[in-house]
Structure 1
């Protein structure tokens, strides 16, 4: 069994009409991809950025819907292509798979600095004697594959976290908070706006046997807990984006003890100075850091100590 796919290469101005025509033809899903090599970075509020040159893929379920068995997909493709003025059109077939498990085949253990490994839950640890962070990312951000996650984890391995309280703000899968606990932290307070991230963080804490040392909150819940308990952390991790990092600079300063440390990620080169300027008011900044390899070098990490 298979899924029929129709692909169009078109401009972003043509996308909306093409989507409408394919959904009218009862496509079950539409995928948009970059047809060139155009980066999209952090959008402004209410913006939905799109590449200038787009490959649109319309997917039709020929497995369970008999109406599509006799459908002339070639004719539909040419018809929509002509209507929207696409520059290129082609068809392909996507073999049916167990999609609930297919994504798992692309993961492998990820080495970080100082013998820390991120190990997907369904795989064997390459080195059983290493510090192995067992992870099931679920639907939350933070698999360890992204450079911003590894930049923060590498930094954490270089800190003395023994008996320290850590706030992981924007926790995603909980990978940084759980990593901090495996590296000796006493307690982690994890915060995220996504309820799915809270669930994933709690599950990953349990996978690693540190659930008794980690509390996960939505932001308003955390604010109440922090105020009631007068919590100030020794360390804050925040792997989010430039605009929220700038916005939270004064707030993070209130959450951190004097001489406490903070690590910030999710930044590209042209955002580094703006974020540094926001934190220099209350923090002594370290030199910005990024990897030298070509794939990851445009992502930067900042770290600092609260004065």
Structure 2
């Protein structure tokens, strides 16, 4: 199946009106993209980010719209000076996860841990291999925030330890910990789809008996040898007391999802309880790790 795809750049005030108009014309989806590389960090839950210059992209079924008529109606409705870079193209349907996997290759962390898509598993002495495909939840190891955590896990002795993965996403960190020798991992997330993804990935990696999944209200707080929280700076700060309470005596804490300029604010929320090592940086992101004082 093919689709009509229209895109146009406009300002932050007009973008929602244009999106609504595309929907009224029959668009099956309308999305926003940043048109000028303007970063927006950590929008509130339920907030839709609108940039100063926003690209509005609308997708129509092939037999439900005429490209020239759509353009004519849009230009009749809005001031032409507000519409920039009108673009139309037909788009062929495809299996998006498989298309993306062309760019997802095996990755190795600390010469000990492989993360590989299905069919590209690596068999190498003195390493373990975690099989993971793009799916419903965040976390394949390609993003610096996840890579920083995987590098930490693969660099430490986890034999027999209990791990908590706070904000588990795809479950990649919990599963990696178990494959690297952890006794068990407790995976917590506010999104039920994340727990579904974690359970599916645990099954794929034959570790379902050692991975325990919870929504926050289902989790009974407990102490762990290693606590991982790869989320974002604001929730790390807001939930600092909750996260610290999970770290056992002599336990270790690993925090990620933090931009370099946010490090000091996060450190200040934890430093009375956690002795951090120097931050580890990859691109614009840093990892904080340390031990209970």
TM-score bracket, shorter-length normalisation: over 0.9
Match of 1:125 in 2: 121
1:188 paired with 2:185, answer yes
For 2:94 and 2:200, the matched residues in 1 are separated by 27
Q: Report the counterpart of residue 137 of structure 2 in structure 1.
A: 140
1:22 aligns with 2:32: no
Report the more deviating stretch, 124-133 or 198-207: 124-133
CA distance in 1, matches of 2:256, 2:147: 10
Does the alignment pair 1:286 with 2:277? Answer: yes
Distance in 2 (alpha carbons) for counterparts of 1:155 and 1:100: 28
Q: Tell me if the contact between 2:12 and 2:51 (Cα under 8 Å) persists in the aligned partners.
A: yes
Seen in structure 2, the aligned counterparts of structure 1 residues 35 and 159 have a Cα distance that, compared at 3 Å, is same
Query: Alpha carbons of 1:45 and 1:69: their partners in 2 closer, same or farther (altered >3 Å)?
Result: closer
Contact 2:167 2:231 in 1 (8 A): yes
Distance (Å, rounded) in 2 between the aligned partners of 1:114 and 1:128: 10
Whole-angstrom CA distance in 2 between matches of 1:279 and 1:70: 55
- Structure 1 gaps, min length 5: 292-296
Native 8 Å contact 2:122 2:129 kept in 1 = no
How far did 1:76 drift? 3.5
> Aligned partners of 1:159 and 1:197: how far apart in 2?
26
CA-based RMSD: 2.0
Q: Contact (CA 8 Å) 2:131, 2:205: kept in 1 or not? A: yes
**What is the Cα deviation at residue 77 of structure 1?**
4.7
Corresponding residue of 2:287: 301
Is the aligned partner of 1:151 residue 2:137?
no
Aligned residue for 1:165? 162
C-alpha change, 1:84 and 1:29, in structure 2 (3 Å) is farther
| TM-score, with length taken from structure 2 | 0.92
- Aligned in 2, Cα 1:77/1:107: closer, same or farther, shift over 3 Å? farther
Paired position in structure 1 for 2:60:
60
Q: Deviations over 1:103-147 (max 9, x none)?
A: 4434222222223111122x3224454311111342111111111
Counterpart secondary structure, 1:276: helix
Q: Secondary structure at the match of 1:36?
A: coil
Alpha-carbon deviation of 1:92?
Answer: 1.4
> How much does 1:304 deviate?
1.1
8 Å contact 1:18–1:84 — kept in the other structure?
A: no
- Distance (whole Å) between structure 1 residues aligned to residue 80 and residue 24 of structure 2: 14
Say whether residues 1:37 and 2:73 are aligned partners: no
Structure 1 residue 101 displacement after superposition: 3.9
Distance in structure 2 (CA, Å) of the matches to 1:159 and 1:283:
18
Decide which moves more: 68-77 or 20-29: 68-77
2:243 is matched with 252
- Give the superposition deviation at 1:80: 4.7
Distance 2:42 2:166 in 1: 18
Is residue 2:173 matched to residue 1:176?
A: yes
Query: Structure 1 81/106 Cα, relative in aligned 2: closer, same or farther at 3 Å?
Result: farther
Residue 270 in structure 1 maps to residue 261 in structure 2: yes
Corresponding position of 2:5: 5
Describe the SS at the equivalent of 1:38.
coil
Query: What is the TM-score when the length of structure 1 is the normalising length?
Result: 0.88
Shift of 1:239: 0.1
- How many residues matched? 292
Does the 8 A contact of 2:165 with 2:174 survive in 1? Answer: yes
Q: Residue 140 of structure 1 contacts residue 172 of structure 1 at CA under 8 Å; is this kept in 2?
A: yes
State the 1:233 CA deviation: 0.5
For the residues of structure 2 that align with 1:197 and 1:176, how far apart are their CA atoms?
13
Runs (5+) with no aligned partner, structure 2: none
